[in-house]
Structure 1
């Protein structure tokens, strides 16, 4: 699990970014609100939406890098 935060100041697009605590772009402590521990950014987004409807995921730390791996059956 990672610990996620919501920026209390909007970015240039007027959105409030969600970051995990190891993100290089996380705002200073006084400019963010703690969301809690989540498995991924999408889970944190659900919580953030209840606080700030104009929330978005940080492209640097919350991008979905999960890739499914499919194995082809040898008999196909």
Structure 2
């Protein structure tokens, strides 16, 4: 689990970014609100949008870098 925060100040586009605790772009402690522990950015986004509909994911720390892996079942011949 990672810990996520919601910026209390808008970015240049007017959105309030969601950041992981270790993000280089995270705002100072007085300029952010704790969202909680989540597995990834999209999970944190669900809570953040209930608090602020202008929430958005940080392009630095909340990019989706994993890919689903599908296995095809082998024919038992």
Structure 2: tracts of 5 or more residues without a match:
none
The answer for the alignment partner of 1:34 in structure 2 is 34
In the superposition, the TM-score normalised over structure 2's length comes to: 0.90
Structure 1 position 13 matched with structure 2 position 13? yes
Q: CA RMSD in A?
A: 1.2
The answer for the alignment partner of 1:55 in structure 2 is 55
Structure 1 position 68 matched with structure 2 position 68? yes
Per-residue CA deviations over 1:23-73 (Å, capped at 9, x if unaligned) read 000000000000000010001000000100000000100000111234466
In the superposition, the TM-score normalised over structure 1's length comes to: 0.91
The answer for the alignment partner of 2:2 in structure 1 is 2
CA distance in 1, matches of 2:52, 2:27: 16
Structure 1 position 46 matched with structure 2 position 43? no
CA distance in 1, matches of 2:60, 2:71: 30
CA distance in 2, matches of 1:46, 1:74: 38
